[in-house]
Chain A
Amino acid sequence: MKYAFYPGCTQESTAEEFGLSSRAVCRELGIGLEEIPDWNCCGASSGHFLDEALADALPARNLAIAEQMGLDTAVVCAACYLRLRATRHKVAGSPGFGKELSERIGRPYEARYGVKHLLDIIVNDLGLEEVRKKVRKPLRGLRLVSYYGCYIVRPPDVVGFDDPENPTSMDRLLDALGADALDWGAKVDCCGGSLILSRDDIALKLMGGVIERAREVEADAIVVACPMCHANLDMRQKGSGPIPILYFTELIGLALGIPEAERWFRKHLVDPLDLLKAKKLL
């Protein structure tokens, strides 16, 4: 199992622990990741907000390099994932558009290989049986809610390895890790991430709803697969006794007994160490 790896900008800054844990977990699970050489930013929401042609050309350069590597691309950031998938989807549906785009980026791109989110790769390509076999420290007694957010599940004709309204892949993964995956109602709500700088009142209200739902089911932590959701929920949580926000890859690492896991958790603003120590997981 080998993929071209597109880390995305946040993996080297605000979501460093997501990048570190993704790489460590893939090593342990035997998933090969070969970083796309000289990859560029996908343009995220701002690309498509301001210019459709730019929104396709920025991801396309990365996809074209991955195509030369002859590998499917693995993505960890949900926003990058949607942008790369959207461009691939358009080119796959229209070879004429592919030619136009190749011209713009100065490289051939024909959508010959796929783009997958790491959650999809672990749950569906590798399979949960494989994960289960490698669990050394089951996450017993940890009450978790899976927060999928937007771009892993929507829009379903472009992304979508799971149900857009009631996805279960992360829940099943947490179950395989031995945790208590709780059912709740805010799985696919939006955290308002794109407005966190420009209209933080809206983002804070949307995030507040997600956190309240997690509290209602008495979750110990919220599990995410998107660095934007993580940044918002981890950095801007208000009130006393905030809920830790954990990446699904960090929890896999913890359950597999990867020793550097503690270093990832030290990078969180809402400190999860007390919780994990109380549950005897660290």
Chain B
Amino acid sequence: MNPSEKQVCDPTFAGRVRKESGVAIDRCYQCLTCTLGCDAAYAMDYPPNQIVRMCQMGFKEEVFGSSSIWVCTACESCVTRCPNEIDIPHLMDTLHQMALRDGAPIQVPSVPVFHKVFLVPIKQFGRQFEVMMTGLFMLRARKFSISDIRTNITLGLGMFLRNKLRFIPHRIRDTGAVKEIFRKTMEGGQK
């Protein structure tokens, strides 16, 4: 949908985005440098420059409902090149968090599922545990197609044969300290 076709925009949205992200979205003058250098733009419904514009204009539903905010790879090219130093990757992070909090419909749900399961072993053991993370991802993202399963078995076997897969997690001594960090940040203790 073209943003201009939507009748209702949220007049408080731009302010919320500015406040939460600290990103000076108003400085954007649509030079398109971000979009021209964006390797993932081809997979986005709205390229990065339009996401910035839509944030300025209060098109909350279109922004939250876009594929763009989820397929951004956080490669940091756009902010490196932006003549106005607008931190778009950081803006994207804020938009992910706002969309998830608002319970907005998510166009590419496998992306936030990946990031959530990525943190599970870290909280538990203090370190990443790839086998557990990948297994959880397959289950929660419902990656049950034959090609998904085949890819994972092939890769898993390739890594196993080269002794690169660990089946027992590496647990740090002070797992309590890491759990406490989760409690005080993401889980809503003091922010």
Contact = CB atoms under 8 A, between A and B. Distances in A.
Contacts of A129: none
A49 B73 contact: no
B56 to A, nearest CB: 22
Nearest to A43: B122
B16 interface: no
Given A190-B39, A197-B137, A154 B73 contact: no
A156 B158 CA distance: 36
A39 B174 CA distance: 9
Interface stretch (A53-61, A136-144, A217-225): A53-61
Nearest to B170: A12
A282 interface: no
A150 B164 CA distance: 24
A58 B178 CA distance: 7
A106 B180 CA distance: 9
A168 interface: no
Interface residues of A, number: 58
A53 B180 CA distance: 13
Contacts, number: 167
Interface string B150-191: 010001001100111110001011100110111011100011
Nearest to B115: A46
B170 A193 contact: no
A40 B39 contact: no
Given A14-B164, A194-B73, A104 B177 contact: no
A267 B39 contact: no
Nearest to A16: B164
B128 interface: yes
Contact of A198 (B108, B155, B158): B108
Interface in A206-235: 206, 209, 235
Contacts of A200: 151
Contact of B162 (A51, A52, A269): A269
Interface string A24-52: 00000000000000111101111111111
Contacts of A195: 40, 71, 73, 111
Contacts of A190: 39-40, 73, 75, 77
Interface of A: 9-10, 12-14, 16, 38-41, 43-54, 57-58, 61, 103-106, 150-151, 154-156, 164-165, 188-190, 192-195, 197-202, 205-206, 209, 235-236, 266-269
